[in-house]
Amino acid sequence: MRIAFCFVLLSTTLLLNVAISTAADVAQAETLFRAGRWEEALAEYDRAIPELSGDALAAALRSAGYCHQVRHKYADAIPYFDRVLAMPDVSGDHRSAALLRKGYCLR
């Protein structure tokens, strides 16, 4: 019983640390994004994306795609927007924004 409790406590601690780290990566990415530091923001988004889900994932994917788009790296941006469009439960706002950005890249 004691070993199981220690395992649960350790697992919970690890998950909490991952969540805090991911939130810090996203916050740093958003700060860099607002400052127009696209390459640095993209690196932070890419670090956080594997740990995100739902609308938080969609928002990070859209922002990461925009980091490519604003630097005229359209072929690199499109997969980020496509991932948002492929998400089954993403909000309409994320879906429409991703579609608009993808269209801009394809023009």
CB 84 within 8 A of CB 48: no
CB 103 within 8 A of CB 81: no
Average pLDDT over residues 43-59: 94
In terms of Cα–Cα distance, which of 41, 12, 38 is closest to 25? 41
pLDDT at 5 over 60: no
Judged by DSSP in three states, 73 sits in coil
Mean pLDDT of the residues in the chain? 85
Q: What is the pLDDT of residues 73-95, one digit of tens each?
A: 999 999 999 999 999 999 999 99
pTM (predicted TM-score)? 0.80
